[in-house]
Amino acid sequence: MQRLIIALLASVVFAAPVSAQEKPNLVTIVTSPEPQTQLMAMVLTMQAAAQGASPHILLCGPGGDIALKEAPVSATSGQPPKGMSPQGLMQTIREKAGATVEVCAIYLPGKGLDPSALLDGITVAKPPEMAGRLIAPGTTVLSF
């Protein structure tokens, strides 16, 4: 019994520093055309990053429109209560929280566009890598 207690204590003592150093992974997937939903996805992603998460944003379908240089007005217009836009907050998360932002692999071909249509720093997701990110242990996936 004493050996069991010592083994358990040792595992907690030695495991704690490793867990404390690892950042939880967060993948936020945005497909919604609604600017309020898009913005809330960005707000929650930003808050998670502020609390230590390592954010990754995947934009698909109408959600991908916020990654465009020539984005629809709904993606660039400020929303109440603070006047933030989905695109603006997404860019802030990318720049300040180090988030990777990608569009789905089929988004640009589906719109008849190429990668030059995307904002600087935003790329096209590679399905095998994205799938691996989604199923990685300890990853939280938010879908909007």
Q: State the DSSP string of 42-89.
A: HHHHHHHHHTT-EEEEEE-GGGGGGGBTT--HHHHS-BTTTTB-HHHH
CATH number at residue 126: 3.40.1260.10
Average pLDDT over residues 98-119: 97
Average pLDDT over residues 84-100: 97
Containing domain of residue 87, as a range?
Answer: 23-143
**Is residue 57 one of the residues assigned to a domain?**
yes
pLDDT at 23: 87
Chain segment 74-90, per-residue pLDDT in tens = 999 999 999 999 999 99
**Is residue 18 one of the residues assigned to a domain?**
no
**Is residue 13 one of the residues assigned to a domain?**
no
**Is residue 11 one of the residues assigned to a domain?**
no
Q: Which two tokens stand for residue 1?
A: 């019994």
* 7 pLDDT higher than 60: no
pLDDT at 12: 35
Q: In what order do the strands lie in the sheet with 100-103?
A: 123-124, 100-103, 54-59, 25-30, 139-143
Write down the residue that tokens 């996936």 correspond to: 141
Q: Considering the chain, what percentage of its residues have pLDDT values greater than 70?
A: 85
**Is residue 8 one of the residues assigned to a domain?**
no
**Is residue 61 one of the residues assigned to a domain?**
yes
* 22 pLDDT higher than 90: no
Chain segment 112-125, per-residue pLDDT in tens = 999 999 999 999 99
Task: Return d(Cα 18, Cα 111) in angstroms, integer.
Answer: 44
Chain segment 43-68, per-residue pLDDT in tens = 999 999 999 999 999 999 999 999 99
Please give the span between the terminal C-alpha atoms of the chain, in angstroms, as a whole number.
Answer: 49
pLDDT at 21: 54
**Is residue 1 one of the residues assigned to a domain?**
no
Beta bridge partners of 25: 54, 139
The number of folded domains in the chain is 1
